[in-house]
Chain A
Amino acid sequence: MIEVKDLAKDYGEHHALKGISFSVDSGRIAGLLGPNGAGKSTTMNIMTGCLTPTSGQVIIDGCDMDQDPVRAKEKIGYLPELPPLYEDMTVREYLGFVCDLKKVKGKEKKTVVEEVMEAVKVTELSGRLIRNLSKGYKQRVGLAQALIGNPPVIILDEPTVGLDPNQIIEMRELIRSLGNKHTVILSSHILSEVNAVCDQVLIIDDGRLVAEDTPEHLSDHYAERDRLLLEVRGSSEEVSRILEGSPLVESFELFGEAEGIVNVKVESASDKDIRDELFFLFADKRLAIVKLERESVSLEDVFLKLTGQDEEKEDE
């Protein structure tokens, strides 16, 4: 459906994209993930023909963006990072104009506009000037614009930024429902969002594609060793003594002790599940494990690892 080959973009000396290749199959939802400035928006702008790449190729449904831009663009609906709205138009006027741009036939125009307004729930605001809409509604009108003409590919650049929690949930549901009929590519730096919505994750860092897989596979793949969280009734000295003496444990970290219960994080020395051994180890010494939890690797960890932000965790 969508094929991106060796995409590179230079801004003078600065290399924004350094050769990105991926493909997204029809009917899937792909998430473009990466820290700010990694090249997500640049990639999307090139895919939609807003920017021309320094080198590389974008093929949408068999149409080359460079060779046959008009036909390729007919297949795309694009919501850029800032919704491209004419503030001096009403919602209906604006969507009508987009219909004209996308060559929707005169007769169908009215129904198409009604349909997309219904889909993003802005029908009751159809007569309002876009200037007077709140950010959330502007975002919806921007999305409505991308849906006009029912394009097979929909590209959304950070579709949930600036929305309130309820709107975010609605937007995600909407995107998921789009996945039935369209191929959707969205970018985000919110990992839970990508995890919740996408079938395919593309992680970009510093202009390069560093990983491409399903969210589950990525977590599995990068889960190197088991990490266990334990709560043990006892003193921290006893716990450390036991763990230091054990060959099962690669490293451990005590983090807090309250009311006779020690919290400890244990990293196993091998790939095997060491929960049973650990249980008997403490049982032999007459120390009770009151909680034992296996920490699974989240997409967040994978992301931090791949984009080299392990040390400087930013809360985004």
Chain B
Amino acid sequence: MGAIYMKEMRSAFHSLAAYLYLALYTAASGIYFSIICLSYGYTDYSRYVFGNITILYIVIVPILTMRLFAEERKQRTEQLLYSAPIRMRDIVLGKYLSVLTLLALSILVSLAEAAVLSSFGPVNWKTVFTGCLGYFLLGACLLAVGEFLSSLTDNQMVAAAMSFGFVLLCMLLPNIVDFVPSRPRYTFLVCALAALCLGFFVYDRTRDKKTGAAFGLAGLCLALIPGLINKELYQDGLARILTWISVTDRFEDFVSGILNGSSIVYYISFAVLFLFLTVQHLERRR
């Protein structure tokens, strides 16, 4: 894992990616910092800077993750990694940690800005730290998705476009929630589709039709039964599901200085899920 991590770090700093990312972050956070905090004199750094720059992830995630696996596949260097005495999860984790390091580096920039701000007035360090943590966790889970998407293709541009689309969707999701139909039947429809997808995924993994069908049916029952018992449960279900999925929603808490345990667990499990999927996908593709 260490070898992969070091290699990724070196390659990030040998190419434009790391500099581009850090410059972008410094510029974006610097604009909000200098205009809102310095010019207008607001000391709530977390709210005005972190609260505004999450939109950056639309560009950051593709920049940092697009080359992770797509490039290895294109250059055929994946064969070196796969024939080396290391596990797939070490490869995935090593690459993931390298992008997390870059993310953490950029947060140092923010801390420096907050330190500058503290010389002009009282800065609430608690909210700054929770903001940092929230920004980091949100990034960590989006980067995990980016890494997964990069493992799907051998074309960096396609990987970039996919993660761009994904992050954009995440950012827009809170706005979409207001427009989804609220009738229980739509909730059921979506749950049923999800159950079918689960069934297909299990079939795809095991190549066993029976297990796949069993999982699909079990999922279907699970989705159907609560709805039959109490229809009210499915009222507005779709909106609730979308809100739950929306990764940006929980970020608000961190910005206002609320450290919510469930949100931390949510972000970490989200990231772990996608890292797991990456490992699974790569193992499967071999």
A residues contacting B by CB (< 8 A) are: 45, 48-52, 69-71, 73-74, 76, 78, 80, 82, 84-89, 93, 97-98, 100-103, 145
Q: In the bound complex, what is the Cα–Cα distance between A103 and B78 (angstroms)?
A: 18
Q: In the bound complex, what is the Cα–Cα distance between A98 and B6 (angstroms)?
A: 12
Q: In the bound complex, what is the Cα–Cα distance between A74 and B83 (angstroms)?
A: 9
Q: Are B83 and A76 in contact (CB under 8 A)?
A: yes
The yes or no answer to B15 lying at the interface (CB within 8 A) is yes
Set of chain B residues within 8 Å of A82, measured between Cβ atoms: 76
Interface size class of B (residues with CB under 8 A): 20 to 34
Could you list 21 A-B pairs, sorted by A, with CB under 8 Å? Answer: A45-B79, A49-B82, A50-B78, A50-B79, A69-B85, A70-B85, A70-B87, A73-B84, A78-B83, A84-B76, A84-B78, A86-B75, A86-B77, A88-B14, A89-B11, A98-B84, A100-B3, A101-B81, A102-B85, A103-B85, A145-B80
Known: A50-B286, A71-B85, A101-B80. 20 other contacts (CB 8 A): A49-B82, A50-B79, A52-B283, A74-B85, A78-B80, A78-B83, A80-B76, A80-B83, A84-B76, A86-B7, A87-B75, A88-B11, A89-B14, A98-B80, A100-B3, A100-B6, A101-B3, A101-B85, A101-B86, A102-B84
Closest 3 CB pairs of A and B: A100-B3, A84-B80, A48-B83
**B81 (CB) vs chain A CBs: closest residue:** A101
Q: Are B85 and A73 in contact (CB under 8 A)?
A: yes
Q: Are A101 and B82 in contact (CB under 8 A)?
A: no
Set of chain A residues within 8 Å of B14, measured between Cβ atoms: 88-89
Set of chain B residues within 8 Å of A52, measured between Cβ atoms: 283, 286
Closest beta carbon of chain A to B78's beta carbon, Å:
7
Q: In the bound complex, what is the Cα–Cα distance between A84 and B7 (angstroms)?
A: 14
Q: Are B3 and A97 in contact (CB under 8 A)?
A: yes
Q: Are B11 and A49 in contact (CB under 8 A)?
A: no
Set of chain A residues within 8 Å of B83, measured between Cβ atoms: 48-50, 73, 76, 78, 80
The yes or no answer to B41 lying at the interface (CB within 8 A) is no
Q: Is the contact region of chain B dominated by helix, strand, or loop, or is it mixed?
A: helix
Chain B 224-264, CB-CB to A under 8 Å as 1, else 0, gives: 00000000000000000000000000000000000000000
Q: Are B80 and A51 in contact (CB under 8 A)?
A: no
B residues 55-103 near A (Cβ < 8 Å) are: 75-87
Within 8 Å by CB of A84, from B3, B75, B86, lies B75
Q: In the bound complex, what is the Cα–Cα distance between A78 and B78 (angstroms)?
A: 12
Set of chain A residues within 8 Å of B7, measured between Cβ atoms: 86, 97, 100
**B207 (CB) vs chain A CBs: closest residue:** A54
Set of chain A residues within 8 Å of B181, measured between Cβ atoms: none
Q: In the bound complex, what is the Cα–Cα distance between A71 and B10 (angstroms)?
A: 28
Q: In the bound complex, what is the Cα–Cα distance between A101 and B84 (angstroms)?
A: 6
Q: Are A85 and B84 in contact (CB under 8 A)?
A: no
Set of chain A residues within 8 Å of B283, measured between Cβ atoms: 52
Chain B 258-276, CB-CB to A under 8 Å as 1, else 0, gives: 0000000000000000000
Q: Are A86 and B11 in contact (CB under 8 A)?
A: yes
Set of chain B residues within 8 Å of A76, measured between Cβ atoms: 83
Set of chain A residues within 8 Å of B78, measured between Cβ atoms: 50, 84
* Highest count of chain B CB atoms <10 Å: which of A48, A52, A78, A86: A86
Set of chain A residues within 8 Å of B165, measured between Cβ atoms: none
**A53 (CB) vs chain B CBs: closest residue:** B286
Set of chain A residues within 8 Å of B10, measured between Cβ atoms: 89, 93
Closest beta carbon of chain B to A71's beta carbon, Å:
7
Q: Are A88 and B82 in contact (CB under 8 A)?
A: no
Set of chain B residues within 8 Å of A93, measured between Cβ atoms: 10
Q: In the bound complex, what is the Cα–Cα distance between A69 and B83 (angstroms)?
A: 9
**B5 (CB) vs chain A CBs: closest residue:** A100
**B2 (CB) vs chain A CBs: closest residue:** A100
Set of chain B residues within 8 Å of A80, measured between Cβ atoms: 76, 79-80, 83
Set of chain B residues within 8 Å of A48, measured between Cβ atoms: 79, 82-83
Closest beta carbon of chain A to B9's beta carbon, Å:
12
**B82 (CB) vs chain A CBs: closest residue:** A50
Q: In the bound complex, what is the Cα–Cα distance between A76 and B80 (angstroms)?
A: 11
**A54 (CB) vs chain B CBs: closest residue:** B207
Set of chain A residues within 8 Å of B80, measured between Cβ atoms: 78, 80, 84, 98, 101, 145
Set of chain A residues within 8 Å of B77, measured between Cβ atoms: 84-86
Set of chain A residues within 8 Å of B82, measured between Cβ atoms: 48-50
Q: In the bound complex, what is the Cα–Cα distance between A130 and B85 (angstroms)?
A: 23
Closest beta carbon of chain B to A150's beta carbon, Å:
13
Q: In the bound complex, what is the Cα–Cα distance between A76 and B81 (angstroms)?
A: 13
* Highest count of chain B CB atoms <10 Å: which of A78, A80, A84, A102: A84
**B88 (CB) vs chain A CBs: closest residue:** A69
**B11 (CB) vs chain A CBs: closest residue:** A88
Set of chain B residues within 8 Å of A98, measured between Cβ atoms: 80, 84
Within 8 Å by CB of B86, from A45, A70, A97, lies A70
**A83 (CB) vs chain B CBs: closest residue:** B76
Q: In the bound complex, what is the Cα–Cα distance between A17 and B76 (angstroms)?
A: 22
* Highest count of chain B CB atoms <10 Å: which of A50, A76, A85: A50
Q: In the bound complex, what is the Cα–Cα distance between A85 and B286 (angstroms)?
A: 20
Set of chain A residues within 8 Å of B87, measured between Cβ atoms: 69-70
Q: In the bound complex, what is the Cα–Cα distance between A69 and B283 (angstroms)?
A: 13
Q: In the bound complex, what is the Cα–Cα distance between A76 and B83 (angstroms)?
A: 8
Set of chain B residues within 8 Å of A71, measured between Cβ atoms: 85
Q: In the bound complex, what is the Cα–Cα distance between A70 and B4 (angstroms)?
A: 16
**B76 (CB) vs chain A CBs: closest residue:** A82
Set of chain A residues within 8 Å of B15, measured between Cβ atoms: 88
Q: In the bound complex, what is the Cα–Cα distance between A51 and B284 (angstroms)?
A: 9
Q: In the bound complex, what is the Cα–Cα distance between A145 and B4 (angstroms)?
A: 16
Closest beta carbon of chain A to B17's beta carbon, Å:
11
